[in-house]
Structure 1
């Protein structure tokens, strides 16, 4: 960060907020309007706070992304053609960009980090290579996907619009790690758009072509950086679509006969998608995913020990998928409900511990009040709950097994956090509503429908 951050950033913030206030009425209703500006603000604050923390204490990825973006910025200054080639290159080194490429440790085919650098390079050109402005622009484009996620959840279960705002926007870990100049922010923003595209295009069956383009673009963004998010999201998303499709069949007998067919077809499509996605990236090949997870976990545990960090051990890995399955229960617990309060070693871990404690409290409270069997039957009966919890559990297993320390885990797990908490809030809303008088429910539904 430099002196220019102090006098250039307010100018860009003024433009962003002017646009936000201008667009707010077209993307909100009377109930959600009040969350639009606060939600954007926490994203902006999170992006700036992350930059300050990394600049003053940690160093690391966000600084490296900024340094690489600076190289692209200077390349634009030397030759627009060279800068543009660095942004659009497929990974080939040509004479025009060779002197810049030698300064980039993350350049090349298969570099998941280089997609972030492309985006940061464009934002650097638009902001005089000002770190804070680049971070704020990352927060802003991420916010668009998060708002699309929130509006989708709110449309599915409008009775819980207040709680859903908390789940999507106001979890400290999500708006801190998921807002700044990092892969995580672009991925969670793209995941929000993908969730919206699935609902709008395949369940509501509106703007199908636009949603297909939007969904494909969101998948491309995630694929370029963290393909395992797609591997965890696609199967439950396709299951969600098929579950919703069977609910349109009014005849109960026909619905029960057709549902296994839809589920089987969805499983085949999901399996095909996973195989194709994993085949495109050797690190996530189905035959090698267990070994890759072991390598990642071992490396992160070594880093944690070297830095006297907060590592955890859920059991020995043998590098096979079977070994990962054996560790699944421990991985779910560590991803959703840890670190425990007494395991926190620093302020960021303390926030994560508070979130995990709240997740544990809300989960136990719902299961206790509603009952285990009724809770599970409700999850199986309501398609969006099936999506939220299956995605959360799959993702929890993948990051819980492979992370190895809480510092890394808190970043890796942010895609599951809005879905898990939203699932809990929707489940709570449904079970509470079932105990209310029907006239009261009908009145509230009419009020929300007219919003």
Structure 2
């Protein structure tokens, strides 16, 4: 970052906030209005902090590697707008007209990284190629999807609207790593759109055109950047659809008869989607996932550990070895690093969040009992979906990381869902433990809020 960032960023921040205040009424109601600007503000804080920490603490990193590529595309646009637009929107193939620029770009042949470059380069055209402002654009894009995620959670369980805001917006790791010029910002926004679209189109069946459009955009972004997030989302999401629709069948005998059929259809659809989405992809092909996991884990734990590596067991490249270490992978993804394992400020933040997860999990199951807690999860499809998604995703990132430095970034998609599920369970347990008069008040409040939950 340079003087251009210092002088232009306040001006663009004013524009962003002006737009945010202008649209806030459209996307909020009496109870969610107070979270809109603070939630956007922490995203902006995360985007700017990310750049500062990478520049002055790490001395470089992925975010500046992306920006180096963006500068090349911006220079091409300055030389010839047609060439610049071709680099942003055209296929990433050899072209003698653009070789002068593409020859300088290490990630030109890497589809996922270059997708981020394309998005960033488009924003660069709108802000004179200013790094910090590109980061603000990424933060705003991420915020749009996460606000959709928040509205979806409220639609399902409005009573916990205060704590759900904490789960979605105010976890430090999520708004830090999921806001700046990185893949993670695009993925967090896209995951929110997919969650919103999936619920409204397939479960609630309202605002279907909008839901399909936003969900489709989210799916496209996840396939382009981190398809494994979508692969983790699909199986529990399809089970969620089955559970919601199964509960709407009035006849108990019909529900019992259709349950195994729908379950098989859901699992088959998930497997078909997973295998077809990744077919031929060297990194994510289902047939090669065990081998790639072993290679990735060994590389990250051996060469970029920086004293923060962890060991969950031996991987030999087979699916069986992944299943064997799955429990350790879940623990490391959800509940580590422990406080005594933190050896730098970034790890300390992650350790504090992990400690919060441990405390809430233990206190919740202590209050309800393990058997009652599990029955509570099974009784609410949103809880079953959220925990299954978190467990599947935790296994994936836990076995693929090998060190806490990368894990803290990899695991942020599961964090809002895990904490939101805990808060929903906590609210349900508190409501059930109150006397009847208190419960009636809460139910009336839920009905009142239900009519205000969204402004669609």
TM tier relative to shorter chain = over 0.9
| Preserved contact between residue 311 and residue 404 of structure 1 (Cα < 8 Å) | yes
Equivalent position of 1:12 in the other structure: 12
Q: 2:415 aligns with which of 397, 414, 417?
A: 417
Equivalent position of 1:132 in the other structure: 132
Which is worse superposed, 27-36 or 441-450?
A: 441-450
Whole-Å Cα distance in 2 between the matches of residues 450 and 8 of structure 1?
A: 42
| Preserved contact between residue 243 and residue 263 of structure 1 (Cα < 8 Å) | no
Q: Deviations over 1:238-257 (max 9, x none)?
A: 11111111111122222222
Structure 1 residue 450: Cα displacement: 4.4
SS of the equivalent of 2:105 reads coil
Equivalent position of 2:405 in the other structure: 407
Whole-Å Cα distance in 2 between the matches of residues 33 and 259 of structure 1?
A: 41
Answering whether residue 195 of structure 2 is matched by residue 225 of structure 1, we say no
Structure 1 ranges of 4+ moved more than 4 A: none
SS of the equivalent of 1:64 reads helix
Equivalent position of 1:356 in the other structure: 354
Structure 1 residue 429: Cα displacement: 1.4
Whole-Å Cα distance in 1 between the matches of residues 267 and 376 of structure 2?
A: 21
Q: Deviations over 1:57-115 (max 9, x none)?
A: 2111000111111111111111111001101222211122110001100002x431000
Equivalent position of 1:160 in the other structure: 160
Whole-Å Cα distance in 2 between the matches of residues 90 and 380 of structure 1?
A: 46
Equivalent position of 1:309 in the other structure: 307
The CA RMSD over aligned residues, in Å, is 1.1
Whole-Å Cα distance in 2 between the matches of residues 283 and 352 of structure 1?
A: 27
Structure 1 residue 9: Cα displacement: 0.8
Describe how 1:217-296 pairs up with structure 2 within 5 A: 217-296=217-296
Structure 1 residue 398: Cα displacement: 0.5
SS of the equivalent of 1:319 reads coil
Alignment gaps of 5+ in structure 2:
none
Whole-Å Cα distance in 2 between the matches of residues 446 and 222 of structure 1?
A: 35
Whole-Å Cα distance in 2 between the matches of residues 304 and 15 of structure 1?
A: 39
Whole-Å Cα distance in 2 between the matches of residues 186 and 309 of structure 1?
A: 29
Whole-Å Cα distance in 2 between the matches of residues 27 and 263 of structure 1?
A: 36
| Preserved contact between residue 187 and residue 222 of structure 1 (Cα < 8 Å) | yes
| Preserved contact between residue 106 and residue 113 of structure 1 (Cα < 8 Å) | yes
Describe how 1:347-386 pairs up with structure 2 within 5 A: 347-386=345-384
How many positions carry a matched residue from both structures? Answer: 448
Answering whether residue 84 of structure 2 is matched by residue 62 of structure 1, we say no
Whole-Å Cα distance in 2 between the matches of residues 144 and 329 of structure 1?
A: 34
Whole-Å Cα distance in 2 between the matches of residues 85 and 309 of structure 1?
A: 43
| Preserved contact between residue 61 and residue 182 of structure 1 (Cα < 8 Å) | yes
| Preserved contact between residue 275 and residue 285 of structure 2 (Cα < 8 Å) | yes
Structure 1 residue 32: Cα displacement: 0.8
Answering whether residue 94 of structure 2 is matched by residue 93 of structure 1, we say yes
Whole-Å Cα distance in 2 between the matches of residues 232 and 446 of structure 1?
A: 33
SS of the equivalent of 1:310 reads coil
Which is worse superposed, 329-338 or 435-444?
A: 435-444
| Preserved contact between residue 310 and residue 407 of structure 1 (Cα < 8 Å) | yes
Q: Deviations over 1:22-52 (max 9, x none)?
A: 1111111111110000000000000000000
Whole-Å Cα distance in 2 between the matches of residues 446 and 90 of structure 1?
A: 51
Whole-Å Cα distance in 2 between the matches of residues 172 and 210 of structure 1?
A: 30
Structure 1 residue 349: Cα displacement: 0.4
Structure 1 residue 335: Cα displacement: 0.3
Q: Deviations over 1:345-370 (max 9, x none)?
A: 10110000000000011001111110
Structure 1 residue 204: Cα displacement: 1.2
| Preserved contact between residue 291 and residue 320 of structure 1 (Cα < 8 Å) | yes
Whole-Å Cα distance in 2 between the matches of residues 130 and 43 of structure 1?
A: 18
| Preserved contact between residue 335 and residue 358 of structure 2 (Cα < 8 Å) | yes
- TM-score, with length taken from structure 2: 0.96
SS of the equivalent of 2:49 reads helix
SS of the equivalent of 2:433 reads coil
Whole-Å Cα distance in 2 between the matches of residues 150 and 303 of structure 1?
A: 38
Whole-Å Cα distance in 1 between the matches of residues 222 and 239 of structure 2?
A: 20
Structure 1 residue 280: Cα displacement: 4.5
Whole-Å Cα distance in 2 between the matches of residues 198 and 397 of structure 1?
A: 23
Whole-Å Cα distance in 2 between the matches of residues 150 and 211 of structure 1?
A: 15
Whole-Å Cα distance in 1 between the matches of residues 280 and 138 of structure 2?
A: 27
| Preserved contact between residue 155 and residue 450 of structure 2 (Cα < 8 Å) | no
Answering whether residue 101 of structure 2 is matched by residue 103 of structure 1, we say no
Q: 2:424 aligns with which of 423, 426, 437?
A: 426
Structure 1 residue 399: Cα displacement: 0.4
Structure 1 residue 283: Cα displacement: 1.7
| Preserved contact between residue 332 and residue 396 of structure 1 (Cα < 8 Å) | yes
Whole-Å Cα distance in 2 between the matches of residues 259 and 175 of structure 1?
A: 39
